[in-house]
Structure 1
Amino acid sequence: MEKLITALLVLAGIIHLLPVPGVLGAERLSALYGISLAEPNIDILMRHRAILFGILGLFLLYAAFQPSLQTLAMVAGLISVVSFIAIAWSVGGYNEFIQKVIFADMVATIALVAAAVIRAIDPTSS
């Protein structure tokens, strides 16, 4: 069960790392999200967002192999993905690129919830 938890956290970590190339500039961000970033302030905010996702993704990957950090990583990852899904659904009108992000976040949500359930029911997995 420990290996399954590790694999699920690695999956969530990889999903969180997918936006990291956006730090390289507006062109990458446009390719990721299908939006124009002509306004410099939005470019700055989105590039910073890419860095934050990188930090969280690396933490999830690290925690996958550090059982003492796994609960914290699961909580942080779930806050990230569930909040994005909730915001997207509440705003609506998003494009197909954002729909792909929502799908990836749903996959991460399932992985993180599964890891948390396994950890809760299998005391040897901690």
Structure 2
Amino acid sequence: MRFVVPVVLVLVALIHTLPIVGVLGANQVARLYGIAAPDPDVELLLRHRAVLFGLLAAFLAYAAIRPLLHRAALAAGFVSVVSFLVLSHLVGPYNAALATVVRVDWIALVLLVAGAVAHALKRGE
């Protein structure tokens, strides 16, 4: 049971590393999300988003080996995943590439719930 939270954090970190390639340019962003950045402003925002995903992934991975950070990392993962899932629901129809991102985030959410339950049970011991 003690390895559940670290494994969850590593898996969610891996999921959050996928968008990092977007930092390399508009072509990578287009491949990731199935959309072309219509102008340099949107490209800048999407590429910066890739950097932030890299930072979150690094934190999640680091927290996996630091039990004192488990709660904060689980919370950060939840904020990232749930916010995207809520926004994707509110925005409405999206393309196939973004549908894949939504499906992967549902997987990440299931992992995070399992990690949160394991963390709570561990604290209750």
Question: Would the TM-score normalized by the shorter structure come out above 0.5?
Answer: yes
5+ long unaligned stretches in structure 1: none
Task: Report what 1:82 is aligned to.
Answer: 82
Amino acid at match of 1:27: N
Q: Distance in 1 between matches of 2:70 and 2:111?
A: 13
Matched, 1:94 2:94: yes
Task: Report what 1:26 is aligned to.
Answer: 26
Q: Retained in 1: the 8 A contact 2:16–2:57?
A: yes
Task: Report what 1:69 is aligned to.
Answer: 69
Task: Report what 1:16 is aligned to.
Answer: 16
User: RMSD over aligned Cα, in angstroms?
Assistant: 1.2
Amino acid at match of 2:79: I
Q: Distance in 2 between matches of 1:108 and 1:62?
A: 17
Task: Report what 1:35 is aligned to.
Answer: 35
3-state SS of paired residue (2:13): helix
Task: Report what 1:6 is aligned to.
Answer: 6
Identity %: 44
Normalised by the length of structure 2, the TM-score is 0.96
Following superposition, the deviation at residue 20 of structure 1 comes to 0.1
Q: Distance in 2 between matches of 1:93 and 1:111?
A: 25
Q: Distance in 1 between matches of 2:123 and 2:85?
A: 31
5+ long unaligned stretches in structure 2: none
Normalised by the length of structure 1, the TM-score is 0.95
Q: Retained in 1: the 8 A contact 2:2–2:122?
A: no
Matched, 1:108 2:102: no
Following superposition, the deviation at residue 93 of structure 1 comes to 1.2
Amino acid at match of 1:72: A
Following superposition, the deviation at residue 124 of structure 1 comes to 7.7
Following superposition, the deviation at residue 36 of structure 1 comes to 1.1
